[in-house]
């Protein structure tokens, strides 16, 4: 979230799309209902089915899964043609006025620079035109046909309400109501927030879906504002923390790019390639600090061994030889290229896409270590239905883990608040905290390297890994937190913020964005102050929030160039002429708003309506159909996102609408947690949702002779599962290109382990991902259904 949970109460319009927040983030509705009651806020729910969120909304707009860009492109077009944009904000704080290379083009669904053979774009033609000082050239009148504003207008004028109705199934009138309501916040003193989750990201256009939100919020002038922003609702209590700590293949802690063997052979090459440059004096260009954060990270990890002479042991760092997201890891595993795996609180036999393939892939491992609170579906993949355990060679170890109440540490919520929590009780039996397990395994490995040498012992043997206090047997989470915060290497003093980090080896910091979380004054994450000086629910003394306890990021954009808040009633920050007041201001406290641009993480310092770099699949989001879709693309002849790579090994199969006529999507219910290992063992929860079920409309039920509560079989090209049918008015067929198209919605919490068992929806989902992130397309695929 650019903002945070409590901040939802400051919104005037709340667009919830690709999220069933009332179901999956119940606490959000405490603040949404407050916005509704106190401010008369309006709530918009856009969803393929009428959900719990829809039931608490003012407008419900149905939408075919996988057509978000079409819908949102229509809103952008509506805003631009009716000039319902915050023009001053757009001119000053976005790249609307920037001129783009005249060679940039877009034709029939393909942007310039496309290489069809490699399914890749060369982004050279997407670049800005630079003036003689090397600064992007601008036309502040926004009239130049090559300025971003005009290019955007041209791009989205194709997204007419009629086309949107045909593509998405959302009636034109409903769409227009949503567009009108959302764009009402283009006025400086009106603010909309956008809440999204996996319904937006889990598509072959997932990243561009999120881009749409960023563009809309920039046009409305809602970024940086209280009650505004683009807000990703994270699906697990600490998934924000895990992302911050780089539990992803493509980043290092603090969102430093992963080191790639092909592009970053040495320290200089990495720093050069990953440090953006700008000649624009208005740009703060925060990532120009890259080397400070990298060197401090290396100092934290390699300690005294990291010296200037050896480039701080950069060469010891593992370097990615190819992308390794979930789908590709399992492709490699399936092909027998991976010998052993740790499953640390993950259950891919239920949660992974094309789960039959993932279960099969596990059979090709020599060993598997599963770490979890309970036996999971994945840890017993060798006795799943239809397989003979004797034929499976994989050796499986199950390590019992402590639950969240049985260990101490920090949890970072969606709003980036790192909150310290304490151990309430000891874990049962031999169960251990994850930290203890990591620590014991690492120390055992290090001992063995010390004794036996091995091919390349240096990084392991010399690593700065000392988290167990003298005389203790267990690792201390405080010691880990202190390293994450960072310290001076000479006198080992905790640092106060990342402003003091250096690239000369004098500072160590495990994650620069968490610098300030555990300072010389103590553990900031454990603070529980309840004063709220801003009156906006920021609670600066409650826990700690990255970066530098800033509760709303990009908050420089909440004021005009004079430093006056766009909405004087909701001032996030204001400039007094010499100092900033309010929230911890973005980009350092000294420069005033007239001197520096607000979007400090972009080299140009302004928000990108058009993305000249950073995306694999185009500078503007464009509508493409899901891999499996019931319809042709109405906007071009390019059906699938042209940058998507399609895997071809034998268990990757794709269905067409002739054989699998119904749209399908997957989702969660509040009663169950992700892949279900934590909840399918709890009788209070299985009382509420005891079985795998799907949701279908009364019309599909009638056509198929299915009654509410009947057992059904659902098939995709990748498998068949059993489920109960919930026949409900909440699901309705949508009119797509004039044809009524039915949908089958499914929960995905069930599997064959645990107390309450059932088939997993993911036995049906496709193993295909977004070209930027490879997040699987769980949310739109094709199935058939029949009475069992």
Using CB under 8 A, list all residues that contact other proteins.
Answer: 22-23, 26-27, 29-30, 33-34, 37, 50, 52-56, 58, 60, 669-671, 682-691, 693, 709, 724, 726, 728-730
Q: State the Cα–Cα distance between residues 339 and 324, nearest whole angstrom.
A: 15
Phi, psi of 342 (to 5 degrees): -100, 130
Strand partners, 330: none
Neighbours of 478 (CB within 10 A): 17
Q: How far is the CB of 24 from other proteins (least distance, A)?
A: 10
Within 10 Å of residue 37's Cβ, how many Cβ atoms?
10
Identify which of residues 30 and 528 has a Cβ nearer to other proteins in the complex. Answer: 30
Chain position carrying tokens 């012992």: 457
Longest alpha-carbon distance in the chain: 76
- Geometric angle at alpha carbon 734, from 729 and 737, rounded to 5°: 170
CB of residue 709 to other proteins, shortest distance in Å: 5
Shortest Å, Cβ 684 to other proteins: 5
33 vs 651, which CB is nearer to other proteins? 33
Q: Which is nearer to other proteins, 392 or 726 (CB)?
A: 726
Distance in Å, CB of 721 to other proteins, minimum: 16
Smaller CB separation from other proteins, 632 or 728:
728
Work out the burial of residue 337: count CB atoms within 10 Å of its CB; fewer than 13 is exposed, 13-18 middle, 19 or more buried. Answer: exposed
Shortest gap between Cβ of 29 and other proteins (angstroms)? 4
HSE-CB at 204 with a 13 A cutoff on CA atoms is 22
Choice between 320 and 682, CB closer to other proteins = 682
Element (H, E) at 43: strand 42-47
> Three-state DSSP class for 18?
coil
Query: What is the distance between the alpha carbons of residues 243 and 418, in angstroms, rounded to a whole number?
Result: 13
CB of residue 234 to other proteins, shortest distance in Å:
17
In 3-state terms, what secondary structure has residue 461?
helix
Least distance in Å: CB of 236 to other proteins?
A: 17
On whether the CB atoms of residues 653 and 718 are closer than 8 A, the answer is: yes
What's the gap between Cα 669 and its chain centre?
20
Closest contact distance (angstroms) between CB of 65 and other proteins is: 19
Give the nearest distance from C-beta 30 to other proteins in angstroms. 5
Least distance to other proteins from the beta carbon of 630, Å? 24
CB of 690 vs other proteins, minimal distance in Å: 5
**Residue 320 CB-half CA count within 13 A:** 16
CB-based contact 666:747 (threshold 8 Å)? yes
- Give whichever of 388 and 729 is closer to other proteins, judged by the CB atom: 729
Give every CB contact of residue 584 below 8 A, 6+ residues apart in sequence.
540, 548, 549, 550, 551
Q: Name the minimum Å distance from CB 33 to other proteins.
A: 5
* Residue 193 vs 602, nearer CB to other proteins: 193
Complex with other proteins: residue 130 or 688, whichever CB lies closer = 688
By beta-carbon proximity to other proteins, the closer residue of 218 and 696 is 696
Instruction: Give min distance, CB of 707 to other proteins, in A.
Output: 11
> Are the CB atoms for 106 and 112 separated by under 8 Å?
yes
Beta-strand ranges (E) seen in 641-716 are 662-667, 693-696, 711-716
Q: Where are the alpha helices (DSSP H) in 64-136?
A: 68-81, 87-93
Kindly tell me which of 725 and 783 has the beta carbon lying closer to other proteins.
725
Structure tokens that stand for 525 in this block: 């994450």
Kindly provide the b/e burial profile for residues 588-612, where b requires at least 16 CB atoms within 10 angstroms of the residue's own CB. Answer: eeebbbeebbbbbebbbbbbbbbbb
Looking at beta carbons only, is 407 or 482 nearer to other proteins? Answer: 407
Rg of the chain taking only CA atoms, in angstroms = 26
Lookup: tokens for 95: 């790249």
Quick one: tokens of 360? 């099969």
Minimum gap (Å) between residue 434 Cβ and other proteins: 24
Beta bridge partners of 319: none
Residue 21 or 252 with smaller CB distance to other proteins? 21
DSSP letters along 170-219, please?
Answer: --HHHHHHHHHHHHGGGSTT--EEEEE-HHHHSSTTHHHHHHHHHHHHHH
Q: How far is the CB of 187 from other proteins (least distance, A)?
A: 23
Residue number, 91 or 713, with CB nearest to other proteins: 713
Q: Are 420 and 409 in contact (CB under 8 A)?
A: yes
Distance CA 470, CA 487 (A): 20
DSSP one-letter string for 414-451: TT-EEEEE---SPPSTT-B-HHHHHHHHHHHHHHHHHH
**Residue 81 Cα to chain centre, angstroms:** 31
Smallest distance from other proteins to CB 702, Å: 16
What single-letter DSSP state applies at residue 94? B
Which C-beta is closer to other proteins: that of 444 or that of 755?
A: 755
Q: Please identify, using beta-carbon distances, which residue of 96 and 669 lies nearer to other proteins.
A: 669
| Cβ distance to other proteins smaller for residue 47 or 777 | 47
Q: Is the dihedral of CA 681, 683, 685, 691 positive or negative?
A: positive
Q: Which of 542, 525, 511, 545 is closest to 419 using CA atoms? A: 525
């Amino acid at each position: 979230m650019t903002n945070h949970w409590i901040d939802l109460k400051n919104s005037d319009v709340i667009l919830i799309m690709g999220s069933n927040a009332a179901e999956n983030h119940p606490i959000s509705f405490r603040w949404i209902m407050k916005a509704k009651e106190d401010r008369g806020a309006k709530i918009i729910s856009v969803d393929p089915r009428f959900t719990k969120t829809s039931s608490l909304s003012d407008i419900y707009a149905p939408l075919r899964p996988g057509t978000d860009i079409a819908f949102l492109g229509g809103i952008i077009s509506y805003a631009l043609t009716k000039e319902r944009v915050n023009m001053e904000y757009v001119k000053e704080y976005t790249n609307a006025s920037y001129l783009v290379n005249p060679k940039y083009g877009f034709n029939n669904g393909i942007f310039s620079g496309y290489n069809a053979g490699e399914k890749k774009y060369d982004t050279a033609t997407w670049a800005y035109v630079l003036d003689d000082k090397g600064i992007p050239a601008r036309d502040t009148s926004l009239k130049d046909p090559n300025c971003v504003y005009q290019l955007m207008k041209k791009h989205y004028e194709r997204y007419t309400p009629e086309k949107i109705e045909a593509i998405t199934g959302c009636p034109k009138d409903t769409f227009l109501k949503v567009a009108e309501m959302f764009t009402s916040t283009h006025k400086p003193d009106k603010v909309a927030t956008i809440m999204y989750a996996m319904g937006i990201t889990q598509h072959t256009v997932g990243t561009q879906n999120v881009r749409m939100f960023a563009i809309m919020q920039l046009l409305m002038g809602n970024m940086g504002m209280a009650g505004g922003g683009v807000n990703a609702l994270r699906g697990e209590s600490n998934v924000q923390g895990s992302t911050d700590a780089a539990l992803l293949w493509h980043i290092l802690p603090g969102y430093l790019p992963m080191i790639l063997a092909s592009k970053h052979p040495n320290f200089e090459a990495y720093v050069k390639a990953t440090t953006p440059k700008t000649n624009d004096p208005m740009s703060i260009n925060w990532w120009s600090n890259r080397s400070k954060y990298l060197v401090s990270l290396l100092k934290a990890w390699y300690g005294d061994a990291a010296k200037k002479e050896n480039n701080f042991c950069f060469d010891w760092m593992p370097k990615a030889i190819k992308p390794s997201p979930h789908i590709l890891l399992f492709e490699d595993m399936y092909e027998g290229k991976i010998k052993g795996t740790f499953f640390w609180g993950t259950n891919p036999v239920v949660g992974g896409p094309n789960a039959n393939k993932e279960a099969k892939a596990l059979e090709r491992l020599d060993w598997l270590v599963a770490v979890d609170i309970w036996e999971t579906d994945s840890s017993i993949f060798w006795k799943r239905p239809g397989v003979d355990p004797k034929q499976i060679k994989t050796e499986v170890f199950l390590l019992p883990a402590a639950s969240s109440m049985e260990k101490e540490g920090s949890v970072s919520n969606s709003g980036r608040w790192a909150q310290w929590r304490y151990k309430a009780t000891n874990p049962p039996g031999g169960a251990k905290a994850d930290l203890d397990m990591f620590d014991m395994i690492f120390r055992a490995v290090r001992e063995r390297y010390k004794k036996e040498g091995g091919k390349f012992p240096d990084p392991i043997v010399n690593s700065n890994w000392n988290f167990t206090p003298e005389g203790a047997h267990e690792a201390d989470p405080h010691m880990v937190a202190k390293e994450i915060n960072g310290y001076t290497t000479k006198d080992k003093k905790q640092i106060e913020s990342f402003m003091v980090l250096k690239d000369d080896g004098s500072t160590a910091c495990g994650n620069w964005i968490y610098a300030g979380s555990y300072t010389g004054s103590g553990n900031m994450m454990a603070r529980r102050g309840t004063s709220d000086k801003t009156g906006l629910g920021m609670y600066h003394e409650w826990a700690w929030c990255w970066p530098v306890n800033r509760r709303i990021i990009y908050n420089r954009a909440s004021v005009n160039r004079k430093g006056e808040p766009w909405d004087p009633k909701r001032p996030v920050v204001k400039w007094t002429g010499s100092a900033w007041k309010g929230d911890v201001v973005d980009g350092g406290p000294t420069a005033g708003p007239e001197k520096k641009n607000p979007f400090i993480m972009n080299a140009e310092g302004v928000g990108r309506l058009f993305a000249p770099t950073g995306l694999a699949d185009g500078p503007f989001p464009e509508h493409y159909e899901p891999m499996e879709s019931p319809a042709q693309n109405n906007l071009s002849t390019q059906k699938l996102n042209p940058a998507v790579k399609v895997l071809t090994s034998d268990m990757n199969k794709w269905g067409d609408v002739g054989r699998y006529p119904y749209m399908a999507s997957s989702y969660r219910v509040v009663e169950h947690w992700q892949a279900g290992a934590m909840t399918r063992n709890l009788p209070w929860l299985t009382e509420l949702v005891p079985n795998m079920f799907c949701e279908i409309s009364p019309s599909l039920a009638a056509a198929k002779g299915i009654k509410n509560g009947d057992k059904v079989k659902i098939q995709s090209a990748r498998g068949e599962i059993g489920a109960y049918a919930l026949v409900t008015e909440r699901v309705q067929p949508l009119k797509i290109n004039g044809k009524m198209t039915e949908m089958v919605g499914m929960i995905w919490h069930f599997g064959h382990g645990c107390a309450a068992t059932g088939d997993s929806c993911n036995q049906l989902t496709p193993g295909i991902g977004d070209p930027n992130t490879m997040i699987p397309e769980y949310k739109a695929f094709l199935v058939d259904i029949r009475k069992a």
